[in-house]
Structure 1
Amino acid sequence: MSFDVICFDCDSTLSKIEGIDELAGRVGLGEEMSRLTDAAMNGEVLLEAVYEQRLSLIRPDRDSIDWLADLYIEQIVDGVKEVFETLTAPGREVHIVSGGIRQAILPLARYLSLPETQVHAVDIYFNEDGSYRDYDRDSPLARSGGKAEICKRLLKAQGSLVMVGDGKTDMEARQAGAVVIGFGGVADRPVVREQADFYSAEPSLVSILSYIL
């Protein structure tokens, strides 16, 4: 099976961390946030029920987003660079589709030679002094079903699309007609094992190439 469009989640798929949990830990709210993130990724609560709550508690400033951007690259999952090099070919598009913070993910995308236009995530806004102001409340990726919306946009009339991710929100891409590969190399979630078309619990992302190529 060959795909025209290949989409990857970021947190716990391209990088071993959950960005929002790392930001929370930095301001002493780690445990509380981890519980909320897990509940959303396991499909126990809707994403929009926790999205605003998490950001309004953490209020990440520009410095903490720069810190997180470095951490994403530092904690990159084994085999990611190799996977992106293998999949970047004429006639094939690779995208990152994430409910994470776009400004923190863009440096990782640059590290993987992926254009900014192929990174779909949630923008946050700062005040002039760099303090947190708000996030893009219109972004589909800050609510349930958002990944399906983005995949639908990316899926050309005749094309085929595959979504690779670790959470319940990634499984929603099936609503757009996507094939879904569950990656459990960082976080092994039963709901993803059950709902994914294919599943890999290998620690290296290279393990998903056999399903894509």
Structure 2
Amino acid sequence: MEGLVNSRIIPIRTSCRWHYSVFLPTFSLQLRNKNLNKGQVWMMRRPKSLDSVAASIQPLEASTTGNTDNRQPSKEVLELWRSADAVCFDVDSTVCVDEGIDELAEFCGAGKAVAEWTARAMGGSVPFEEALSARLSLFKPSLAQVQDFLDKRPPRISPGIEELVKKLMARNTDVYLISGGFRQMINPVASILGIPQENIFANQLLFGSSGEFLGFDANEPTSRSGGKATAVQQIRKVKGYKALVMIGDGATDLEVSKFILTFFRYG
């Protein structure tokens, strides 16, 4: 993360105008801002750590006016974080280092084929539900395999995430996990981070009475394209949040941008 803190932001031309900045939750080497309906979209390259994002949640007065060396987030970014009454995180390759389904598939002996489908799903070239079904059909994990995987491969949390979530919660900012991954694998992540189970929106693997794989619950909104946007809309409707931020890395995450204050694309 130190390299990113000291790095230079390169402005990228958008469809609207040039946008110059030296801020960002110091996440990034490149960024762009677009107004998509109600939401702002900040595009950024993946950092090694989210430590400086956590640092950006410090009180606004702690920042240095006129600072241009990228060591302190700008007032604009500080205000974005400070105004958020809820933050939603994608899980795979964002909160966690790995893509959960790829790791499970590799554990079950089908890693390469499943990883190829994952790349297509994240890029949005195929409907998410099609990609999810295709990936699971390649290895059909049993309940015993999933439990064995969880025992032997505990979640690898991305650097800085625990501190970031802790600081958000200390400010009474609600935190959610919204994922196309599986609840069985995300529950342990939520436990580590102290996120309530009811704040998880994810898919559910289904098993038979003998633990055999049956499929996934197609009624979960996150099981299909546009599902994360549906989950965000449900959250806003129930909770009445005015300023909701999401951090994610895939096409399904970007779909939420029109329903929230700000979307940070992490990747």
TM-score, with length taken from structure 1: 0.80
Match status 1:134 vs 2:222: no
In the other structure, the counterpart of 1:172 is 255
Q: Give the superposition deviation at 1:91.
A: 4.2
In the other structure, the counterpart of 1:97 is 178
Aligned residues: 183
Q: Give the superposition deviation at 1:65.
A: 2.2
Say if 1:183 and 1:61 are closer, same or farther in 2 by CA, change over 3 A.
Answer: same
Larger radius of gyration: 2
In the other structure, the counterpart of 1:152 is 233
Q: Give the superposition deviation at 1:4.
A: 1.0
Percent pairwise identity: 37
In the other structure, the counterpart of 1:82 is 163
Greater shift, 62-71 or 172-181, is seen at 62-71
Gaps of 5+ in 1: 185-213
Deviations 1:7-28 (A, max 9, x none): 0011000111111111221232
How do 1:159-198 and structure 2 match up within 5 A? 159-184=242-267
Match status 1:22 vs 2:103: yes
CA–CA distance in structure 2, aligned partners of residues 144 and 174 of structure 1: 14
How do 1:47-62 and structure 2 match up within 5 A? 47-62=128-143
Say if 1:114 and 1:133 are closer, same or farther in 2 by CA, change over 3 A.
Answer: same
Quick check: 2:86–2:241 contact (8 Å CA) kept in 1? no
In the other structure, the counterpart of 1:107 is 188
Quick check: 1:88–1:94 contact (8 Å CA) kept in 2? yes
Say if 1:172 and 1:51 are closer, same or farther in 2 by CA, change over 3 A.
Answer: same
Match of 1:7 among 57, 64, 88: 88
Quick check: 1:47–1:144 contact (8 Å CA) kept in 2? yes
Residue 165 of structure 1 aligns with an amino acid whose one-letter code is G
In the other structure, the counterpart of 1:41 is 122
Which SS does the other structure have where 1:17 is aligned?
Answer: coil
CA–CA distance in structure 2, aligned partners of residues 181 and 15 of structure 1: 16
CA–CA distance in structure 1, aligned partners of residues 133 and 261 of structure 2: 28
Say if 1:78 and 1:91 are closer, same or farther in 2 by CA, change over 3 A.
Answer: closer
Deviations 1:118-149 (A, max 9, x none): 11101112112222122101111011110100
Which SS does the other structure have where 1:181 is aligned?
Answer: strand
Quick check: 1:66–1:104 contact (8 Å CA) kept in 2? no
Residue 119 of structure 1 aligns with an amino acid whose one-letter code is I
Say if 1:68 and 1:84 are closer, same or farther in 2 by CA, change over 3 A.
Answer: farther
Quick check: 1:63–1:130 contact (8 Å CA) kept in 2? yes
TM-score, with length taken from structure 2: 0.64
Q: Give the superposition deviation at 1:60.
A: 1.4
CA–CA distance in structure 1, aligned partners of residues 261 and 214 of structure 2: 35
Residue 107 of structure 2 aligns with an amino acid whose one-letter code is R
Q: Give the superposition deviation at 1:52.
A: 1.1
Say if 1:103 and 1:110 are closer, same or farther in 2 by CA, change over 3 A.
Answer: same
Residue 109 of structure 1 aligns with an amino acid whose one-letter code is A
